[in-house]
Amino acid sequence: APVDFSGTWGLVSSENFENYMKSLDIDFMTRKVAKMLTPQKVIEQQGDKFSIRTLSTFRNYLVEFKVGEEYEEDTKGLDNRKLLSLVTWDNERLVCVQKGEKKNRGWTHWIQGDELHLELTCEDQLCKQVYQKV
Ligand code: VLZ
């Protein structure tokens, strides 16, 4: 693997998360709570094997995958959909395509300086988040 994402990362900035959640049909009350959160990403990486935990005071979310191997993703506690997801390397970026009901759904992670960057897309919405090591 070209990069090591391992560590505990705390959210420092977020753009357009509200519209990203809207594009996933997440209800009003959940969006109001969720947009106030400062989640942490706890990433464990062993070569091409990953677990990414998104932890918050409200809800937690776990994905585990191996780069290049499609996996079934159940977005329980988020928008509660079943997806077929595939993560690949794009140079130093980790790119996930999430096939399902929603078009253009996925995310990209990369390291820039001492920051972990995340772009989340769904339909016509793009949410950008930056995390720093805690
Ligand atoms: O991240 O797919 O790091 O899964 C929001 C948690 C996490 C807060 C959104 C609770 C998941 C919100 C983002 C309740 C609606 C995501 C991937 C890339 C790994």
Tell me the per-residue pLDDT of 19-45, one tens digit each, with 9 for 90 and over.
999 999 999 999 999 999 999 999 999
The ipTM assigned to this model is 0.91
Q: Is 67 helix (H, G, I), strand (E, B) or coil?
A: coil
* pTM of this structure: 0.97
40 CB near ligand 1 (under 6 Å)? no
pLDDT at 8 over 90: yes
Per-residue confidence (pLDDT) for residue 99, from 0 to 100: 98
Per-residue confidence (pLDDT) for residue 57, from 0 to 100: 97
Q: What are the residues whose beta carbons fall under 8 Å from the beta carbon of 98, sequence distance 6 or more?
A: 73, 83, 84, 85, 105, 106, 107
Residue 54 Cα to ligand 1 middle (Å): 6
Q: What are the residues whose beta carbons fall under 8 Å from the beta carbon of 6, sequence distance 6 or more?
A: 43, 44, 45
Residue 2 Cα to ligand 1 middle (Å): 24
Per-residue confidence (pLDDT) for residue 49, from 0 to 100: 98
Q: List the structure tokens of 118.
A: 């995340």
Place of tokens 């009901």: 101
Per-residue confidence (pLDDT) for residue 2, from 0 to 100: 81
Residue 47 Cα to ligand 1 middle (Å): 22
11 CB near ligand 1 (under 6 Å)? no
Q: How far is residue 117's CA from residue 108's CA, in Å, rounded to a whole number?
A: 8
